[in-house]
Chains A and B, each alone.
Chain A
């Protein structure tokens, strides 16, 4: 099944017939089986699926962190497939933002330095107005000089969100961003993400297995066994949960994704 929501020109990221195969022979595991999907600009898309469905693999391939076995991936006008390390680095630096489950902040840098790190690496200066907007949105102004160790989990993840937002990338990939947070902090983070899409036109692709988190998205794509099996527009926690339940029945035991 192919998800084809939105017009091609508006896609911020696109996967066409993407296959991802790990290992070979007996140990061969097919993580993605010909996935084609487009992720519209200015929308918040969630990728859902049970463990081993290939949702994280799809995100890693889209973000240029992992290579595809077959098919093509593109971000904006850039074809990701076939880029070398330097090209991928540039792509990640200039067009992609990341939010990880583990926050992944540098312990030696302050919150502010962490937020500005991608721009410093690229040698760019942040737009001061936009920087202020981001800082206010995530509500961290008072804690900018703190190091990660002095921040709570929720605050650390907000720093990570700010780091992704401040460079205004083409697309932000969030990998289980609320996985390590309590429900209140998780809700805060999801609100920022949704607001940054609604108010500032940011494109976000989020991988999650939490139906409540998925309900914040504009659209949910369901993966099972390496294929897109379903999708929901304007989901609610209940509709997501229902869809998940249906998927869970034939869920494969095969493990394609750690």
Chain B
């Protein structure tokens, strides 16, 4: 039996390779994700171990507001300079240095633009001299407050040299300030940066003012232990001496913490890759199921013969499963190899484009190997199980009969399809209405999966009418008519091939519907409620949001033709000692009310006093507050928390955010500067008249610009387009796999119908006509799949949009032009997929084909 299995495997290697390819791609993503995460993770470990190599113990003030990596940057609060003295006085401290180091120091390059970073921080620090780690490569240390040094990586990116006058924006000063570049520094081992970070070294007073906002403060103290004292012992001594407001950590702890927060960001990337692996494997499952079904159907006689000469049903199942195992094994090995390659490539790309991360050696963690084999072989065997069971049911008598297995009725498959679809729908309903509690995402994903499988099971029933309708388009020629009949011939096979394409198209369509709807809703809301003609803001290109000098808001209000201006700050804050909430601060609530034509639902809209707050209706509901109630808020830079009294509750669509704080609160945010200002002009004033004057106000800030309303709305929604393109590119892979499926099905069909093809050629069908016949079959299948995908995807998308109505997505947009493109692409895909099988069919030797058994 084993030998028979292996022989049949070898005889069918081409078509098994085709279906195995889908598994290879899926496994590649899985193992690639693990390899990438492992390699980058170890690289980060090395980077941070290095960065804290000279630090035995570090002292910092406890952050006021703790945020996760995904929510923004942690701010190490400033503390008075005398803390350095207190540290130095603790016995066992050999050396204590006050350090300023904060993100947000942006150098302006020689092209006049701000040098952006794709991920690593842009640190502004006080220059504390050379050390074991840091070495001055060129020039000298900064001595005056208008002198800086930068690391070599930044100098290279900005194309600046020692002696140049260069501009920079800093955390507390979002307008250009000019400095003389007096030196360049690097790191031991010839490195130009640590982990790609851009660094500017100021004199200590300049760093304190520009990066911390207060003179005579630091945000950490670096401590070296005296000989004989372990860092851990010194840490405990310092913690006792300084009290609970200070966090004391060893260098090792710091490096582990920093690496952990980077790895958290990586795990998101990992999840994305695994998500695509799941899609590829789902499509691959369809493909393998189909291939094995066809192979079993073709081998009916052979398998029946085996039964006739005494093989048991179990042996038959065993032989098919063994075949599947072999395919799965080979696909897993290839997938793992490809995954290691992809992981290495992505790690290299990450290291290069995210700014010179020195990569640790390529690592293949056991998880990558285990998951590659588990996933690859499991998927293949599960997919082959159904065909194997079918094979075992072939009666021995089939060996003696002509292969004319009657079409089994579709009742059972249809009923189970309806049940599975219903389960999927129910799961989706539960997930989308938010009744699933913490398990919302798994429930929704499960619902989508069930819906896909259910629809795939229903597809055979649908395929008859739809395929014959689609085929009708081609019925004007004989080859077209024959192709149409062929595609309707085996509803199961057509259905599953189309279903594989459906998955990819449905996901793309669904995502497009959701994003387009969100985009359109945002644009519509902005258009109907926003009575601002100009907007001052920056386009966000990196992890940090561009901000500008608060004085710009006041000066903008004085520009002739400007009616009113509101500047907006944002951050996360701890409200009422509870969880973190997104808050905004407005320079003037009254101005906002005027720009949004807001009427208060309760209370009055007026400029907020420093101890007043306004809430949106949903914010008030969430917090359980009404006008007159009090709430407390702790900001990133505030000493202790502030208490505010609620003075107004505004409708959701006439508010900015749900908690609107007075201007003073903004000054204590992580980024104490506004990121946007809405400008309303006095009626009858031309935009073109005011815009240049506002532009002049932000001329010293290359990150920020002035946009009219239309381009502002476009700016706000352009992120959706980028996201959409990325998702479409990644899901294109699922579609490519589905194309392999169509090629596979057609190739097998051509083989199966060799005699028919021979006859058609014998009675005069030309080669070109033969090819057209096969092509029509492929196009009908692929367009059918695309139609299914579009319907399912639009349905899923619409359901999600419907569920998000409370979140402000009120508009359902069906992307008709995209749908048209998908259908056109599907037809093209059919033509491409048909090419090889069609050529093969046309090249058949007529005589051999007629005699074909």
Asked if A108 contacts B482 (CB within 8 A), the reply is yes
* Interface-lining segment among A8-16, A22-30, A115-123, A229-237: A115-123
Asked if B850 contacts A86 (CB within 8 A), the reply is no
Alpha-carbon distance A149/B764, docked complex (angstroms): 24
Asked if B762 contacts A65 (CB within 8 A), the reply is yes
Alpha-carbon distance A123/B485, docked complex (angstroms): 19
* Interface-lining segment among B753-761, B809-817, B830-838: B753-761
Query: B693 on the interface (CB 8 Å rule)?
Result: no
A-B contact count (CB 8 A): 66
Note all chain A residues with C-beta closer than 8 A to B758. Answer: 104
Query: B765 on the interface (CB 8 Å rule)?
Result: yes
Alpha-carbon distance A52/B481, docked complex (angstroms): 40
Asked if A106 contacts B851 (CB within 8 A), the reply is no
* Interface-lining segment among A73-81, A88-96, A125-133, A213-221: A88-96
Note all chain A residues with C-beta closer than 8 A to B763. Answer: 92-93, 97-98, 117-118, 121, 163
A89 interface neighbour in B478, B485, B766, B851, Cβ under 8 Å? B766
Query: B724 on the interface (CB 8 Å rule)?
Result: no
Query: A109 on the interface (CB 8 Å rule)?
Result: yes
Asked if A100 contacts B850 (CB within 8 A), the reply is yes
Alpha-carbon distance A92/B760, docked complex (angstroms): 10
Query: B486 on the interface (CB 8 Å rule)?
Result: yes
Note all chain B residues with C-beta closer than 8 A to A102. Answer: 755, 850
Asked if B847 contacts A93 (CB within 8 A), the reply is no
| Chain B at the A interface: SS class | helix
Note all chain B residues with C-beta closer than 8 A to A117. Answer: 478, 760, 763
Query: A238 on the interface (CB 8 Å rule)?
Result: no
Cβ < 8 Å to A, chain B residues 760-796: 760-767, 769
Note all chain B residues with C-beta closer than 8 A to A106. Answer: 482, 756, 759-760
* B401 nearest CB across to chain A (Å): 13
Note all chain A residues with C-beta closer than 8 A to B478. Answer: 117, 120-121, 123
Closest residue on chain A to residue B406 by CB atoms = A149
A94 interface neighbour in B764, B765, B767, Cβ under 8 Å? B764
Note all chain A residues with C-beta closer than 8 A to B481. Answer: 120
Asked if A90 contacts B851 (CB within 8 A), the reply is no
Most chain B Cβ neighbours within 10 Å, of A97, A106, A109: A106
Closest residue on chain A to residue B768 by CB atoms = A86
* A240 nearest CB across to chain B (Å): 26
Alpha-carbon distance A56/B226, docked complex (angstroms): 104
Alpha-carbon distance A121/B768, docked complex (angstroms): 12
Alpha-carbon distance A97/B762, docked complex (angstroms): 9
Query: B309 on the interface (CB 8 Å rule)?
Result: no
Asked if B764 contacts A104 (CB within 8 A), the reply is no
Most chain A Cβ neighbours within 10 Å, of B486, B488, B756, B850: B850
Asked if B762 contacts A86 (CB within 8 A), the reply is no
Note all chain A residues with C-beta closer than 8 A to B765. Answer: 89, 121
Query: B557 on the interface (CB 8 Å rule)?
Result: no
Most chain B Cβ neighbours within 10 Å, of A109, A117, A120, A122: A117
Closest residue on chain A to residue B843 by CB atoms = A85
Query: A60 on the interface (CB 8 Å rule)?
Result: yes
Most chain B Cβ neighbours within 10 Å, of A89, A109, A122: A89
Cβ < 8 Å to A, chain B residues 203-232: none
Q: A109-B485, A121-B478 are in contact. Are A104 and B755 (CB under 8 A)?
A: yes
Number of interface residues of A (CB under 8 A): 28
Number of interface residues of B (CB under 8 A): 25
* B554 nearest CB across to chain A (Å): 80
Closest residue on chain B to residue A109 by CB atoms = B485
Asked if A149 contacts B404 (CB within 8 A), the reply is yes
Alpha-carbon distance A197/B485, docked complex (angstroms): 35
Query: A254 on the interface (CB 8 Å rule)?
Result: no
Alpha-carbon distance A149/B763, docked complex (angstroms): 21
Note all chain A residues with C-beta closer than 8 A to B759. Answer: 98, 100, 104, 106
Asked if B847 contacts A65 (CB within 8 A), the reply is yes
* B847 nearest CB across to chain A (Å): 5
Query: B489 on the interface (CB 8 Å rule)?
Result: yes
Query: A258 on the interface (CB 8 Å rule)?
Result: yes
Asked if A92 contacts B762 (CB within 8 A), the reply is yes
Query: B846 on the interface (CB 8 Å rule)?
Result: yes
Note all chain B residues with C-beta closer than 8 A to A66. Answer: 847
* A20 nearest CB across to chain B (Å): 12
Closest residue on chain B to residue A173 by CB atoms = B762
Asked if A60 contacts B847 (CB within 8 A), the reply is yes
Asked if B761 contacts A89 (CB within 8 A), the reply is yes
* B763 nearest CB across to chain A (Å): 4
Alpha-carbon distance A86/B768, docked complex (angstroms): 10
Asked if A122 contacts B755 (CB within 8 A), the reply is no
Note all chain A residues with C-beta closer than 8 A to B766. Answer: 86, 89
Interface digits, A138-171 against B, CB 8 Å rule (1 contact, 0 not)? 0000000000010000000000000100000000
* A13 nearest CB across to chain B (Å): 16
Alpha-carbon distance A101/B679, docked complex (angstroms): 88
Alpha-carbon distance A102/B478, docked complex (angstroms): 23
* A23 nearest CB across to chain B (Å): 15
Alpha-carbon distance A123/B766, docked complex (angstroms): 12
Asked if A121 contacts B851 (CB within 8 A), the reply is no
Alpha-carbon distance A89/B404, docked complex (angstroms): 30
* A169 nearest CB across to chain B (Å): 10
Closest residue on chain A to residue B755 by CB atoms = A104
Interface digits, B33-72 against A, CB 8 Å rule (1 contact, 0 not)? 0000000000000000000000000000000000000000
* A171 nearest CB across to chain B (Å): 14
Alpha-carbon distance A198/B425, docked complex (angstroms): 70
Asked if B756 contacts A89 (CB within 8 A), the reply is no
Asked if A121 contacts B769 (CB within 8 A), the reply is yes
Asked if A104 contacts B850 (CB within 8 A), the reply is yes
* B478 nearest CB across to chain A (Å): 5
Note all chain B residues with C-beta closer than 8 A to A121. Answer: 478, 760, 763-765, 769
Asked if B850 contacts A89 (CB within 8 A), the reply is no
* B757 nearest CB across to chain A (Å): 10
Q: A89-B761, A94-B764, A121-B764 are in contact. Are A108 and B489 (CB under 8 A)?
A: yes
Note all chain B residues with C-beta closer than 8 A to A118. Answer: 763-764
Alpha-carbon distance A121/B758, docked complex (angstroms): 14
Alpha-carbon distance A89/B847, docked complex (angstroms): 13
Cβ < 8 Å to A, chain B residues 470-494: 478, 481-482, 485-486, 488-489
Note all chain A residues with C-beta closer than 8 A to B755. Answer: 102, 104
Alpha-carbon distance A97/B488, docked complex (angstroms): 29
Note all chain A residues with C-beta closer than 8 A to B489. Answer: 107-108
A92 interface neighbour in B485, B764, B767, Cβ under 8 Å? B764
* B848 nearest CB across to chain A (Å): 10
Alpha-carbon distance A159/B138, docked complex (angstroms): 95
Alpha-carbon distance A206/B646, docked complex (angstroms): 103
* A160 nearest CB across to chain B (Å): 10
Closest residue on chain B to residue A90 by CB atoms = B764
Asked if B485 contacts A98 (CB within 8 A), the reply is no
Most chain A Cβ neighbours within 10 Å, of B404, B478, B759, B761: B759
Alpha-carbon distance A92/B759, docked complex (angstroms): 11
Alpha-carbon distance A92/B489, docked complex (angstroms): 27
Most chain B Cβ neighbours within 10 Å, of A98, A100, A118, A121: A121
Alpha-carbon distance A66/B762, docked complex (angstroms): 11
Closest residue on chain B to residue A105 by CB atoms = B759
Q: A100-B759, A108-B489 are in contact. Are A122 and B847 (CB under 8 A)?
A: no
Most chain B Cβ neighbours within 10 Å, of A65, A85, A90: A65
Cβ < 8 Å to A, chain B residues 796-853: 846-847, 850-851
Among all A-B residue pairs, the 7 with the closest Cβ atoms:
A93-B764, A108-B485, A104-B759, A118-B763, A65-B847, A120-B478, A92-B764
Known interface pairs A89-B766, A102-B755, A120-B481; 17 further A-B residue pairs with C-beta atoms within 8 A, sorted by A's residue number: A65-B850, A86-B766, A92-B761, A92-B762, A92-B764, A93-B763, A97-B763, A98-B763, A104-B755, A106-B759, A108-B482, A108-B486, A109-B485, A117-B760, A118-B763, A120-B478, A121-B765
19 contacts between A and B (CB under 8 A): A65-B850, A85-B767, A86-B767, A89-B766, A92-B764, A93-B763, A98-B762, A98-B763, A100-B759, A104-B850, A106-B482, A106-B759, A107-B756, A108-B485, A108-B488, A109-B485, A117-B763, A118-B764, A121-B764
